[in-house]
Amino acid sequence: MVASAAAFARKTLAIADMEVRRLRHDPTELLTRALQPALWLLVFGQVISRGHVVDTGDLPYLDFLVPGILAQSVLFIAIFNGISIIWERDLGIVHKFLASPTPRAALVLGKALGGGVRALIQAVVVVALALLLDVRVRWDPLGLAGAAALILLGAAVFSTFSLIIACLVKTRERFMGIGQVLTMPLFFASNAIYPTSMMPGWLQVISHLNPLTYQVDGLRELLLAGALPPGVGLGVDFAVLASALFVLVLISARLYPNIAR
């Protein structure tokens, strides 16, 4: 039992390490990905902030927005993981992994962890932008470590989710379509750019079922120094994301072999 758990962890890390090595060989992707959050903060954030359109209590709107945009960029990176699995299937890479003695869940989790590392690097960019915009960040080592953990967890949730979609739709073209259809609603039906309290009742319900809401909620608490709007608490945030991940890994480990057939 212990030996097989160690082997599982080892193989998960081997897959994640491979993803990180790829990124090291070609880091240009990180730069291009930084553009989107920069636009959201520098353009959208500034405009909405000046117009005082969104009521965020005593917290400046830009402060409120930073964790939301951080979570959004994690979401977009993670959703991209699904398309890479289709690409790897077309190249035969997936087949070779599946024919090796690697537990399916380790393949899924390793890939998710690789997405998490990309997301962490993105987080550094977003926080740097936030500092430029005078957002008051809480410089507490424990808070930062917690935020890093939450980013990894959130990235893993959405990577695994996108892997499930990839296993179901199987072609790049279909995935591109569905990816768009899923990411935007996940983003808008969350508390990322406006508080849940501003939403109509039906949207509030959806927002409470959306894992992204819990990631944003946790990140606000861990990263911001100002007066926060009431949240659900870190315990709930972590618990919701961890349970979502558990269920999604179980489902995707079952579906993953289908992609090679």
Partner 1 sequence: MSSISMRALTREFGSTRVVDRLDLDIESGEIFGLVGRNGAGKTTTVKMLTTLLPPTSGTALVAGYDIRTQAAQVRRVIGYVPQALSADGELTGYENLLVFARLFDIPRAERRRRIADALAFMELTDAAGRLVRSYSGGMIRRLEIAQSTLHRPRALFLDEPTVGLDPIARHAVWQHIVKLNAEYGTTVALTTHYMDEAEALCDRIAVMHKGAVVAVDTPQGLKARLGPDASLDDVFAHFAGGSPEGDGRYADTATIRTTADRLG
Could you tell me the smallest distance in angstroms from the CB atom of residue 26 to partner 1? 6
Q: Mind giving me the DSSP string for 150-181?
A: HHHHHHHHHHHHHHHHHHHH-SHHHHHHHHHH
Contact call for residue 21 and partner 1 (CB under 8 A): yes
Contact call for residue 208 and partner 1 (CB under 8 A): no
Contacts of 186 (CB under 8 A, 6+ apart): 75, 210, 212
Q: What phi and psi, each to the nearest 5 degrees, are found at residue 224?
A: -95, 145
> Between residues 10 and 180, which has the closer beta carbon with respect to partner 1?
10
What's the CA gap between 168 and 201, in Å, rounded? 32
Could you tell me the smallest distance in angstroms from the CB atom of residue 169 to partner 1? 16
- Per CB under 8 A, the segment of 3-11, 38-46, 205-213, 244-252 that binds partner 1 is 3-11
Q: Which residue has the tokens 């179980």?
A: 250
Percentages (nearest 5) of helix, strand, coil residues in the chain? 80, 0, 20
Q: Are 170 and 257 in contact (CB under 8 A)?
A: no
- Per CB under 8 A, the segment of 15-23, 33-41, 143-151, 200-208 that binds partner 1 is 15-23
What's the CA gap between 197 and 45, in Å, rounded? 19
Could you tell me the smallest distance in angstroms from the CB atom of residue 125 to partner 1? 22
Within positions 100 to 159, which residues make up the interface with partner 1, using CB under 8 A?
Answer: 100-102
Site string for partner 1, 69-98 (x = CB under 8 A): ---------------------xxxx-xxxx
Contact call for residue 261 and partner 1 (CB under 8 A): yes
When binding is defined by CB under 8 A, the residue of 2, 99, 142, 209 that contacts partner 1 is 99
Q: Mind giving me the DSSP string for 84-143?
A: HHHHHHHHTHHHHHHTSS--HHHHHHHHHHHHHHHHHHHHHHHHHHHHHTT--B---HHH
Within positions 178 to 207, which residues make up the interface with partner 1, using CB under 8 A?
Answer: none
> Between residues 10 and 131, which has the closer beta carbon with respect to partner 1?
10
Contact call for residue 25 and partner 1 (CB under 8 A): yes
Could you tell me the smallest distance in angstroms from the CB atom of residue 183 to partner 1? 24
Rg (alpha carbons) of the chain, rounded to whole number = 18
Q: Quick check: helix, strand or coil at residue 53?
A: coil
> Between residues 233 and 257, which has the closer beta carbon with respect to partner 1?
257
Which positions lie near partner 1, rule CB under 8 A?
7, 10-11, 14-15, 17-18, 21-22, 25-26, 90-93, 95-102, 257, 260-261
